[in-house]
Amino acid sequence: MREGVSLKRASAEFGIDPRTVVRFAGSALRQTESGRYIARRSDNLLRKLVVNVHGGGQPEFIVRGSRAAHDLAERSAAQGYFVATGDDSKLRKLKDRKIYDASGREIPFLTDLDELERLGDAGVLSFESIYARRA
């Protein structure tokens, strides 16, 4: 919805009743005077995200808020950019930025270039989606 899609259209795309979206994600939405729901610039909702870590694992972390989700996506994109181009400038820029899960534990950031190359060459790293797999 942050890209301008209506609540009705967004919920239909995922097969969810709009009332269910409002019930569970209402804090991330704002109702206009006309009654239309629009997404807030940021939110504090919980998300389960996949993170690439040392050894090729991809554990799932619960994070709170769109900012943490954005930061993890930025990390993943930097890893993918390095694997695709060999340019580590984006990784270096993010190396000291810390991100914490919903319980306050720091989420590790895989920046070892040799490890990233090895995992990328083996096809182990997946940058398609950081959102957790459904059970």
51-76 pLDDT, tens digit each: 888 776 788 999 999 999 999 999 99
Tell me, what DSSP letter sits at residue 6?
-
Residue 104 CA to residue 115 CA, distance in Å, equals 26
- Percent of the chain clearing pLDDT 90 (strictly above): 73
Residue 51 CA to residue 125 CA, distance in Å, equals 10
The pLDDT value given to residue 123:
76
Determine contact, residues 63/76, Cβ cutoff 8 Å. Answer: no
pTM, whole model, 2 decimals? 0.78
The pLDDT value given to residue 133:
56
Q: Angle at the Cα of 113 (from 97 to 107), degrees rounded to 5?
A: 35
Residue scoring higher pLDDT (4 or 11): 11
Asked whether residue 38 carries a pLDDT value surpassing 90, the answer given is yes
Integer CA distances (angstroms), 26 to 2, 18, 30, 69, in order: 14, 11, 8, 18
Residue 21 CA to residue 96 CA, distance in Å, equals 36
Task: Please report the sign of the dihedral spanned by the C-alpha atoms of residue 35, residue 39, residue 41, residue 46.
Answer: positive
Residue 65's nearest CA partner among 79, 86, 44 is 44
37, β-bridge pairs: 31
